[in-house]
């Protein structure tokens, strides 16, 4: 499966769905997606990694870099959809302590201040 990032809006939050493999070859596309949101003032991000098949050290580094970039911009990043493989990588690297994990998109959205219960999804962006 090739790498893709699909972005949807839910009120003031952005849902970023990542699919495929996140390796050194794909990190630039992922970084561009996150930085594009931040440039538009979208600082509350839910990262859905349910479709993430593989994550190497470059992908891990990019997740950490982008997480801290979001936080420095006054935002927050939540993670949903951890597969057993990705969860294991986050536990081995102790990064599970960095990324706030939620059971689903709705609960992650509701965790942002001022977000109504269930959020409000808008059409996906390319």
Tell me the mean pLDDT in the region 47-67: 93
Task: Write down the pLDDT at residue 123.
Answer: 47
Its pTM stands at 0.86
Task: Write down the pLDDT at residue 107.
Answer: 94
Distance CA 4, CA 19 (A): 5
pLDDT digits (tens, 9 = 90+) for 81-123: 998 888 888 888 888 788 888 999 999 999 998 776 655 544 4
- pLDDT tops 80 at residue 24: yes
In the chain, what are the domain boundaries? Answer: 4-106
In the DSSP assignment, the letter for residue 52 is: E
Sequential DSSP letters for 62-120: HHHHHHHHHHHTT-EEEEE---HHHHHHHHHTTGGGTS-EESSHHHHHHTSTTPPTT--
Assigned architecture for domain 4-106: 2-Layer Sandwich (3.30)
């Amino acid at each position: 499966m090739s790498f893709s990032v699909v972005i949807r809006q839910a009120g003031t939050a952005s849902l970023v769905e990542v699919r495929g493999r996140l390796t050194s070859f794909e990190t630039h596309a992922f970084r561009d997606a996150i930085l594009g949101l931040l440039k538009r003032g979208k600082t509350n991000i839910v990262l859905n990694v349910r479709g993430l098949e593989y994550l190497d050290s470059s992908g891990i580094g990019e997740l950490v870099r982008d997480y801290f970039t979001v936080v420095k911009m006054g935002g927050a990043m939540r993670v949903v959809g951890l597969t057993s493989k990705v969860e294991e990588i986050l536990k081995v690297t102790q990064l599970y302590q960095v990324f706030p994990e939620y059971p689903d998109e709705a609960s992650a959205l509701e965790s942002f201040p001022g977000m109504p219960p269930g959020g409000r999804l808008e059409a996906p962006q390319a």
